Amino acid sequence: MTIPIFDDALMTDPHGRYAQLRGAGPIHETTTPDGEAVWVITSYAEARAALADPRLSLNKANARTRNSYQSSMPPELDAHLLNMDPPDHTRLRRLVSKAFTPRRMADLRPRIETLADELLDAAPAGPNIDLMDVLANPLPMNVICELLGIPADRRRDFREWTNTLLSPAPGAAMDSRTAMRSMYRYLVEIIRAKREEPTDDLLSAMIQARDEHDGLTESELVSVTFLILFAGYDNAVHLIGNTITALLLHPEQLDAVRHGTLAIRDVIEETLRADPPFPLGVRRFALEDLTIAGTVVPAGGRIWISIISANSDEAQFPSPRTFDPTRTPAHLAFGHGIHYCLGAPLARLEAEIAVETLLRRSPELRMTVACEDVQWWPSFHKHGLRSLPISR
């Protein structure tokens, strides 16, 4: 039976709404906001199994019907990891991983520390500062530009294009297309320049990555660069915002972090479990008729895996709405299986440095709105704050 899921309640109270749905079962047939049939998985066990199930494809070509809702990026930017299955995905991920090394991520630490300090130097002190504006939003964009090797004089353009592309404003489609074209042209141009004169960054390393004789094609390079931007920017912004919010809402844990008895990393992991910035995984398509927890999904059927719901499944996490950084959660915030997030170490590092720097420099840190007045984005696809008013 089809039940409505994508309603206002899912945007305003995702935890409450998904708890109801889990009570009704682990998988639910429904329709997307533009009328497409979709099966939504809400339990931990089924979500984890689905994320690693080779019978579920990420390639849109395997969809039974086509529509535009959340079908990821425009066609010229489709040659990326989250639209591919093995063997194409295996080859591309191996090449990208050669450039995306843990050492490259760790080497970024001092730069991220400097960037966080510079942002807080420039931020006003006192009451009513929007932490999203002064730290959580700009830090990940600066880090991605450093990582990719976007020169300082082009970062303002880069940030403007990205914000336009991510803007949920109605009627922004035209601006989005213009921003997309400008960014596409810019990326093609910078890839050509780095091919001629490599520098020490991820983009140059991806250009140089080779398997036998085969490297990344031009369209793969541009598409993967876009993916890094889309997968890496907004999610990292909201991991920072959600972690700081969690600490401000739990003053005893904030004290424990300040006294060194609670590790920031543990607070970040519990935030990833309890308030993951990416609440719905990338869509999958059934490659054959399959049965999930007694429900038949036909070949070509579209499946969405609710990460935020799986992470609050009481069968896996007792008292899931209790924010408890001492659990050792096997959460699904970064996915699971062959598409496990390549940027997970970087996202954790950015959040850790953002929190560390803010606490060190703001001994009087507190939230200046009541917790029920904290404004979340009304969205099915992102779980993060519009603004976070603080005093420091």
Binding site for ligand HEM (CB under 6 A): 51, 81-82, 93, 227-228, 231-232, 235-236, 239, 276-278, 281-282, 333-335, 339, 341-343, 346-347
**Helix, strand or coil for residue 178?**
helix
The conformation of residue 78, written as its DSSP 8-state character, comes to: -
Minimum Å gap between C-beta 274 and ligand HEM is: 13
User: Which residue type sits at 261?
Assistant: T
- In angstroms, what is the minimal distance from the CB of 127 to ligand HEM? 29
State the minimum distance, in angstroms, from the CB of residue 99 to ligand HEM: 11
Least Cβ distance, residue 240 to ligand HEM (angstroms): 9
Q: Which is nearer to ligand HEM, 3 or 52 (CB)?
A: 52
Question: 10 vs 224, which CB is nearer to ligand HEM?
Answer: 224
Among residues 9 and 344, whose Cβ is nearest to ligand HEM? 344
Coil/strand/helix, residue 39: strand
Say if residues 196 and 204 touch (Cβ distance below 8 Å).
no
The residue among 110 and 337 lying less far from ligand HEM, judged by its C-beta, is 337
Among residues 194 and 331, whose Cβ is nearest to ligand HEM? Answer: 331
The torsion angles phi and psi of 366, rounded to 5 degrees, stand at -155, 160
If you search the block for the tokens 């036909």, which residue do you land on?
A: 298
Task: Provide φ and ψ at 389, rounded to 5°.
Answer: -70, 125
Give the C-alpha distances (Å, rounded to integers) separating 89 from 280, 289, 307, 338.
21, 23, 22, 9
Q: Contact 44/311 with Cβ under 8 angstroms? A: yes
Residue 271 near residue 383 (C-beta atoms within 8 A): no
Other Cβ atoms within 10 Å of 122 Cβ, number: 10
For ligand HEM, the closer CB: 232 or 301: 232
C-beta of residue 64 within 8 angstroms of C-beta of residue 300: yes
* Shortest distance (Å) from residue 238 CB to ligand HEM: 7
What is the smallest separation between the CB atom of 346 and ligand HEM, expressed in angstroms? Answer: 5
Q: Which is nearer to ligand HEM, 165 or 239 (CB)?
A: 239
Using Cβ positions, the residue closest to ligand HEM within the complex turns out to be: 343
Rounded Cα–Cα distance for residues 316 and 308 (Å): 13
Q: What tokens were used for 265?
A: 């990393």
Closest separation in Å from C-beta 311 to ligand HEM:
11
Nearest CA to 302 out of 64, 119, 73 is that of 64
Place of tokens 């479990």: 273
Min dist CB 305 to ligand HEM, Å, is: 7
Nearer CB in complex with ligand HEM: 116/239: 239
